[in-house]
Structure 1
Amino acid sequence: MASKDYFHTLDTFITELSADSVEWCPAEPFKDVLACGTYKLPEINDSPNLRNRRIGQIYLFRVVKGGKLEMLHQIDTSGILDMKWMHITDIDNNRILLGVVNSNGYLQIYELRYVDSAHNKTEFKLIAEEKIGADDEKVMALSLDWSVGRGAWTSDSIPHIAVSDSLGRISHFTWHETSNLTKNFTWSAHQFQAWIVAFNYGSKNIFYSGGDDNKFLTFDTRVGSVPVFRSREHIYGVTSIHNNIVKPHTLVTGSYDQILRLWDTRNLNQPISKIDLEGGIWRLKWDPFKHQYLFAACMSEGFRIVNWSSEVLMSVCGHYDEHSGLSYGCDWSSLNKEDLKRLNISTGNTLISTCSYQDCALKLSVINFMTDDKVDDSTS
């Protein structure tokens, strides 16, 4: 196990409610911005009108000099279960979009843009939303993914969004330049909660889902609602899936069974490699530079970074355990060493963020784990 000295905590923000999701903005001019989502489960002593509600917040922060978190916006809303920025490299009207799914069963799109760039004044607002089920359904939207993934976006691209829900279904939406969503279909996928959905970033027609029924499924929109592949490799519920944007045949899955699995999507009969991370895996994120390192939120066992090389998940090269609650949210920034110098952060390769449940904490850290294998900034 690598030393914890690879991580240095720069700042901590205590959220009012439990923090479960954190996402760094991937695109200029907002690479120094990150979003954090929270939620609160109803309690027995809550008033009757609150017992059926899960409340939450969206925080938006900018990293300022010295590596401190400056809050830009706070929005009170229903419980946030997942968030994803649309990863783009050219920005029409100097804006970027954040997709959010919540406990009331909605897919929402928020817009971040400058209203006064000279004074760094931003606007962050809800511009579209669609319910994933019928109006009378009690359903939570649990996860989402953009078809454009973490790659370049052009004006010719048509972004799609997949959403998983607590009834085990997957819904498919299209985002239009006119700032509206259309729902294309809702398919049954799992017997219980569909914890995760993720696109294959090499093919806009293929997406994957994982659920509490231990199933890892592959769908192709050209074929229809029946999965084109079913895997029962996982012993417990499948909670995280992430495709590698530069090697789209490479996919990872995480599960309550604590095993990180590496797959070749051309043959999903069995994983090509496995590693035990000693804790249930809630989130997995490929690094935005070399696309070689995986950031894993391991629930009761903190956060780990895994080095992947030569088609094998080689080893855990970093372990961060500065939280006192369940490790739920983690993400890499796309800031490089030169960006860190401008922020007066003298050591480290990039910034990361983590958040956890019981301690209601969001932490900003600088990471130095790639000192012997320099980050290639040209790919960010």
Structure 2
Amino acid sequence: MLEDGAAGTRNGSLDVYACSDGLQKVASAVSADSSILDVRFVRPGLLASAHSTGKVCFWRATGGAAPALELVHTTPVADPDVLALSVTFAPGHMAVTLSSGVVRVYAMEAVPGPATAVAEHAHELEAWTAAFAPAGSAERVLSGGDDGVLLAHAVATDTPLWRTGRAQHGAGVTAILPLADNVLWTGSYDEQLRVWTGAGRPVLAQSLGLGGGVWRLVPDGRGRVLACCMHGGARILAGPPTEPAVVATIVDGHESMVYGGDWAADGALVATCSFYDRKLNVWRVVY
């Protein structure tokens, strides 16, 4: 949220809901000095949040009769006037993308704990998203920016590997999902899901229109992927990684851009959230 004022201030909160019988907020941790642009589960019970004041915060979530959130560590990743737009993790590493276009990789012996910058590269405009590849490895980091470019960077040597041309995405690259067997998916503001194949520099295999800007691609670990499609709602994709198909569409329940979502641990429920209307919806998956 951006508050009115001469300078303008952002604020946000990290909330915990129980959804066994409807939705009920059970815990909230307010971050008064900044908004939260991204949230990731590092492992069960530990979350990381990317903030508009150039930092990543780590929170311990406890359940039971008295659910609570506890701030356990804060890692500065940029100057306070730079937004941390996304955060992602691989064993021993964290990658953060920034509104300045910079993508920075940190080595971490323990999470949460001290972080040492070990690799860095930059886009010409905002760096929206990053992912480590291969999945579960910190061998290289892939990033997408508002400049419409997909970049690959070697972490160990801190050197560039390859980049796509601007013509290969019709707008900013906003989502990246590495899959098995040298398959890579990307999402863009241009409403296309792109499937890339091949070792090394990938080759575009196909595009699939999803009816909205593809902001997030979230796998469930069972072969299905939730696509958050901004003004187009959300989609659930399934099928072979090289030939995905839409198997379910979520268009009702949101009056604004769907920017976030995730799966329940058992894959039976999916949650989606939208921007201006501040809605969180939980859906039962029947596919």
TM-score (structure 2 length as normaliser):
0.91
Q: Alignment partner of 2:19: what SS?
A: strand
Q: Alignment partner of 2:82: what SS?
A: coil
Counterpart selection for 1:363 from 261, 281, 285: 281
* Structure 1 pair 179–306 and aligned structure 2 pair: CA distance change class (3 A): closer
Counterpart selection for 2:214 from 274, 281, 305: 281
Q: Deviations over 1:257-301 (max 9, x none)?
A: 11101223514342222201121111111122x2x2221111111
CA contact (8 A) 1:272 1:312 kept: no
Counterpart in the other structure of 1:112: 61
What pairs up with 1:59-138 in 2 under 5 angstroms? 59-64=15-20, 66=21, 68-77=22-31, 78-87=34-43, 96-114=45-63, 117=64, 120-134=65-79, 138=81
Counterpart selection for 1:316 from 236, 246, 271: 246
Q: Deviations over 1:11-49 (max 9, x none)?
A: xxxxxxxxxxxxxxxxxxxxxxxxxxxxx134xxx1225
CA contact (8 A) 2:52 2:81 kept: no
CA contact (8 A) 1:283 1:328 kept: yes
* Structure 1 pair 185–175 and aligned structure 2 pair: CA distance change class (3 A): closer
Q: Mark the structure with the bigger radius of gyration.
A: 1
Displacement of 1:248: 5.9
CA contact (8 A) 1:298 1:328 kept: yes
Structure having greater relative contact order (Cα 8 Å, sep ≥ 6): 1
Distance (whole Å) between structure 1 residues aligned to residue 241 and residue 271 of structure 2: 28
- RMSD across aligned positions (CA): 2.0
- The residue type paired with residue 199 of structure 1 is F
Distance (whole Å) between structure 2 residues aligned to residue 248 and residue 100 of structure 1: 30
Counterpart in the other structure of 2:139: 205
More strand, by proportion: 2
What pairs up with 1:324-339 in 2 under 5 angstroms? 324-335=255-266
- The residue type paired with residue 228 of structure 2 is A
Displacement of 1:126: 1.0
Q: Deviations over 1:231-279 (max 9, x none)?
A: 12212100011223xx263321100111101223514342222201121
Displacement of 1:123: 3.4
What pairs up with 1:153-302 in 2 under 5 angstroms? 159-177=92-110, 179-185=112-118, 187-200=120-133, 201-224=135-158, 226-232=159-165, 233-244=168-179, 247=180, 249-264=182-197, 266-288=199-221, 290=222, 292-302=223-233
- The residue type paired with residue 274 of structure 2 is S
CA contact (8 A) 1:242 1:252 kept: yes
5+ unaligned residues in a row in structure 1: which ranges? 1-39, 89-95, 149-158, 337-349, 370-380
CA contact (8 A) 1:231 1:269 kept: no
Distance (whole Å) between structure 2 residues aligned to residue 41 and residue 69 of structure 1: 26
| Structure 1 residue runs of 4 or more that deviate by more than 3 Å after TM superposition | 174-179
Q: Deviations over 1:299-318 (max 9, x none)?
A: 111111122326312x2111
CA contact (8 A) 1:171 1:183 kept: no
CA contact (8 A) 2:183 2:241 kept: no
Distance (whole Å) between structure 2 residues aligned to residue 188 and residue 258 of structure 1: 26
- The residue type paired with residue 354 of structure 1 is T
